[in-house]
């Protein structure tokens, strides 16, 4: 009789541990899926911006004596984004997006020096679209960081960390502002 009750207790413990492991694994899969979905939304908004900016640059070039360095920076940043997206490395994509942020900031500062450009309807339409895109990017970044935070808490919190290590789920990198992004770019036309 005693042998039966010991095996029953062991069986119950094994069943509970198995159910917990299944639930922990499914939770990790769901959290990781949320991170991937949120990143896809960030990529979509960045792609929208990358597609929009050449039209903005063309409009600016057509209406002003455009600064070559700014144009080169925007072009290089756009190329870096495309290359990082092709490689599929999220860290490179985040770095390329930050570089694009800086180049776009310089472009917008340059535009402010040309009041006649701001008067054209095409430019105003593009700026409205760009502003909307920047707002969407900010929301997508926030949603991504929220998903990464939830996922990372699940991966690091006990006892979920046991299942995470067992199944190879590692913490994700969140999107952080690039150094110096709190300072507006300076454009000097005195040369």
Distance CA(172)–CA(146), nearest Å, equals: 11
Best CA proximity match to 55, nearest among 120, 1, 102: 120
Q: Which of 1-5, 43-47, 48-52, 122-126 has the lowest mean pLDDT?
A: 1-5
What kind and span of H or E run contains 13? helix 2-63
Asked if residue 173 belongs to a domain, the reply is no
- Residue showing tokens 């770019």: 185
**Structure confidence at residue 19 (pLDDT):** 92
Asked if residue 61 belongs to a domain, the reply is yes
180 dihedral zone (left: phi>0; alpha: psi -120 to 50; beta)? left
* 61: confidence class by pLDDT, cuts 50, 70, 90: low
The CATH number given to whatever domain includes residue 27 is 1.20.1440.20
Distance CA(51)–CA(28), nearest Å, equals: 34
Q: Which domain holds residue 120?
A: 21-167
Asked if residue 70 belongs to a domain, the reply is yes
Asked if residue 60 belongs to a domain, the reply is yes
Asked if residue 116 belongs to a domain, the reply is yes
Distance CA(132)–CA(113), nearest Å, equals: 22
Please state the domain count of the chain. Answer: 1
Asked if residue 103 belongs to a domain, the reply is yes
Q: Mean per-residue pLDDT for 56-81?
A: 69
Q: What is the pLDDT of residues 33-46, one digit of tens each?
A: 998 888 888 888 88
Asked if residue 176 belongs to a domain, the reply is no
pTM: 0.60
**Structure confidence at residue 62 (pLDDT):** 62
Residue 39 · residue 141 · CB < 8 Å = no
Q: Which of 73-77, 109-113, 144-148 has the lowest mean pLDDT?
A: 109-113
Asked if residue 16 belongs to a domain, the reply is no
């Amino acid at each position: 009789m005693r042998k039966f009750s010991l095996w029953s207790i062991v069986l119950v413990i094994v069943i509970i541990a198995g159910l917990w492991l299944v639930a922990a694994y499914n939770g990790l899969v769901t959290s990781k899926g949320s991170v991937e979905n949120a990143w896809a939304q960030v990529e979509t908004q960045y792609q929208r911006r990358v597609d929009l900016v050449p039209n903005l640059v063309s409009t600016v070039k057509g209406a002003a004596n455009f600064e070559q360095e700014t144009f080169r920076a925007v072009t290089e940043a756009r190329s870096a984004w495309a290359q990082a997206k092709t490689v599929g490395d999220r860290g490179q994509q985040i770095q390329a997006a930050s570089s694009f942020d800086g180049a776009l900031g310089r472009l917008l500062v340059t535009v402010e020096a040309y009041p006649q450009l701001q008067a054209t309807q095409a430019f105003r339409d593009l700026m409205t679209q760009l502003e909307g895109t920047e707002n969407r990017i900010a929301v997508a970044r926030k949603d991504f960081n929220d998903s990464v935070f939830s996922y990372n808490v699940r991966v690091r919190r006990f006892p979920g960390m046991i299942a995470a290590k067992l199944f190879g789920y590692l913490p994700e990198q969140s999107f952080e502002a690039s150094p110096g992004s709190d300072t507006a770019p300076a454009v000097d036309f005195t040369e």
